[in-house]
Amino acid sequence: MGHPVLSARNPFKLLAVDSDTDALGDIRTCLTGGELNIATASSGAEAIRILEFSKVDLVILDIQIRDIDGLSFLQYMRGQFKDIEVIMTASSPSVPDAVQAIKGGAANFLVKPLKPNDLLTAVERLLSKLAQRRALLPQSPPPETYGLIGISGGIRNVIERIERAAAINANVLIRGESGTGKELVARAIHYRSDRAAARFVPVNCTAIPDTLIESELFGHVKGAFTGAKDSRAGFFQIADGGTIFLDEIGDASLNLQGKLLRVLQNKEIHIVGSSHVRKVDTRIIAATHKDLPAMMERNHFREDLYYRLDVVDIYVPPLRERQEDILPLVNHFLGKYAKEMGLAPPGLSDRAIENLNNYSWPGNVRELENLTQRLLVNADNDILGVADLPGTMHRGVRPYVDAPKTLAAVEAEHILRILKSTDGNKTRAASILGIDRKTLRQKLKRIPPT
Ligand SMILES: Nc1ncnc2c1ncn2[C@@H]1O[C@H](COP(=O)(O)OP(=O)(O)OP(=O)(O)O)[C@@H](O)[C@H]1O
Ligand SMILES: [Mg+2]
């Protein structure tokens, strides 16, 4: 049955990326002979989708793929998926390219047309290495992101603050627009903290009728009031030792605010109908999409309560301010719900991706999650295109909310955005912009520093 590492049951997954379909066919033939599980992609965009959907162990990457420079793609992979081994291939190899590739972390640099034996040997060697490495590190945990998908600076900052909040016992205030993931953040803090074994109790502050506040929060004894047929524990007792999540704290009535403040100050509760006072040890994490300081000015929110809650402040930015997260989130939810529905996750056309990226997502991640479910229900293609997206997402309809700008300002903004997307690589930026490097340099000189 051939080499043990290359047996049919081997756990490794390979990906070949080449814009030349003949070359892809050759690689596939050569390696499936070794009974390997191999996927192929003819563009960088397609490769990214595969990398994000499935755990790939080894990539065979051509230096000249259609939509992205192979060396930049190598850099992206090394940054994003540290554990992946890479073999680079080139049809017109140059020494500087080979040096760059090896420096950039590729394990091999093979010249095309590929000799089946060379390829097979290189692959076998790398997979043996991976197998050994994995055997040595049986359970190296994945980087902890608490189910928070995203690669933007904004989400990394949130994750960092979750870590810090989890390590201490202070109260937390999470701010952010509706649907940005505030509850997910609150749960992450609780389950990372040393309170994880006790309960996480979500309380929606809008949903408590004023007459029931005390009994809901602090519980009541049998016969405490008409209708109290049994004793019942309140949220603070249930969450004793754990965490109470006060959701929509900005919607709490002044009455509720007063009651909450008292528990925060005294760390004790009065159970309704009993003369008994009980000590409680609960951590408070509150969340709101409202501007509490503005509410305080109008006396709609108590300042003393605000300062008790806002010890650790976590702001979750809206999705439109972290565009890099859109595609990873879409892929994540397409994968998740496709699996639930027993479907193969569909791909997305480049134009569909562009439209998703340009949409302003007023409902944030929740809107995106709902959209992916709808897309799956209606999908009748393997690749979702622009026509599958709701009309509001069609390019160009995004309302122009910005102040009027000069043409030069728009041009400058566009140039800087493209340059950012190429990580400052001027050659690639110039090629995307359809101008030469010299023109780009001149234009950049004219952009005033910000
Ligand atoms: N970064 C993320 N990664 C994965 N899923 C996310 C992320 N952010 C949000 N979600 C998902 O989006 C949905 C909305 O998130 P959540 O309920 O936490 O938002 P919220 O800020 O509490 O919204 P609201 O203010 O409307 O209550 C949930 O299903 C959540 O799991
Ligand atoms: Mg919520």
Tell me the three-class secondary structure of 201-220, residue by residue.
EEEEHHHCCHHHHHHHHHCE
| pLDDT digits 0-9 by tens, 223-256 | 878 777 888 888 999 999 999 999 999 999 999 9
Cα 184 to ligand 1 centroid, rounded to whole Å: 6
The pLDDT, as a whole number, for residue 180 is: 97
Ligand 1 contact via 367 beta carbon (within 6 Å): no
For residue 205, the tally of other CB atoms under 10 A from its CB is: 20
- Compute the distance between CA of residue 148 and CA of residue 155 in angstroms, rounded to an integer: 8
The pLDDT, as a whole number, for residue 405 is: 67
The pLDDT, as a whole number, for residue 374 is: 92
Judged by DSSP in three states, 226 sits in: coil
**Residue 39 bridge partners (DSSP):** 15
Cα 142 to ligand 2 centroid, rounded to whole Å: 27
Share of the chain above pLDDT 90, in %: 46
Share of the chain above pLDDT 70, in %: 91
Q: What average pLDDT does the segment 97-119 reach?
A: 90
pLDDT at 10 over 70: no
- Compute the distance between CA of residue 444 and CA of residue 300 in angstroms, rounded to an integer: 49
Q: What average pLDDT does the segment 94-122 reach?
A: 90
pLDDT at 8 over 60: no
Q: What average pLDDT does the segment 84-108 reach?
A: 90
- Compute the distance between CA of residue 257 and CA of residue 306 in angstroms, rounded to an integer: 10
* CB-based contact 352:388 (threshold 8 Å): yes
| pLDDT digits 0-9 by tens, 15-54 | 999 999 999 988 888 887 656 788 899 999 889 888 887 7
Ligand 1 contact via 151 beta carbon (within 6 Å): no
Which residue from 148, 366, 368, 372 has its CB within 8 A of the most atoms of ligand 1, so it is best to mutate?
366
The pLDDT, as a whole number, for residue 348 is: 86
Residues 6 or more apart whose Cβ sits within 8 Å of residue 73? 17, 44, 47, 61, 65
- Give 29 or 296, the one with higher predicted confidence: 296
Judged by DSSP in three states, 137 sits in: coil
Ligand 1 contact via 290 beta carbon (within 6 Å): no
Q: What average pLDDT does the segment 95-117 reach?
A: 90
Q: What average pLDDT does the segment 91-106 reach?
A: 89
| pLDDT digits 0-9 by tens, 416-426 | 888 887 778 88
First-residue to last-residue Cα distance in the chain: 63
Q: Band of the pLDDT at 394, cuts 50, 70, 90?
A: confident
Q: What is the DSSP string of 290-305?
A: S-HHHHHHTTSS-HHH
> For residue 289, which atom of ligand 1 is closest to its CA?
25
- Compute the distance between CA of residue 338 and CA of residue 94 in angstroms, rounded to an integer: 43
Average pLDDT over the chain, rounded to an integer:
86
Q: Band of the pLDDT at 401, cuts 50, 70, 90?
A: very low
Ligand 1 contact via 87 beta carbon (within 6 Å): no
Q: Band of the pLDDT at 145, cuts 50, 70, 90?
A: low
Ligand 1 contact via 145 beta carbon (within 6 Å): no
pLDDT at 291 over 90: yes
| Short-list 171, 259, 266, CA closest to 216 | 259
Ligand 1 contact via 365 beta carbon (within 6 Å): yes
| Short-list 87, 113, 114, CA closest to 98 | 87
Cα 182 to ligand 2 centroid, rounded to whole Å: 6
The pLDDT, as a whole number, for residue 395 is: 64
Residue whose Cα lies nearest atom 2 of ligand 1: it is: 148
Report residues near ion ligand 2: CB below 5 Å.
183
Q: Which ligand is nearest the CA of 176, by number?
A: 1
pLDDT at 404 over 60: no
Q: Which ligand is nearest the CA of 180, by number?
A: 1
Ligand 1 contact via 35 beta carbon (within 6 Å): no
Q: Which ligand is nearest the CA of 174, by number?
A: 1
Two structure tokens written together for 308: 């008790």
Q: What average pLDDT does the segment 324-329 reach?
A: 92
| pLDDT digits 0-9 by tens, 176-223 | 999 999 999 999 999 999 999 899 999 999 988 888 898 889 988 888
The pLDDT, as a whole number, for residue 214 is: 87
Q: Band of the pLDDT at 87, cuts 50, 70, 90?
A: very high
- Give 286 or 146, the one with higher predicted confidence: 286
Q: What average pLDDT does the segment 305-325 reach?
A: 95
Lowest mean pLDDT among 6-20, 331-345, 375-389: 6-20
Q: Which ligand is nearest the CA of 331, by number?
A: 1
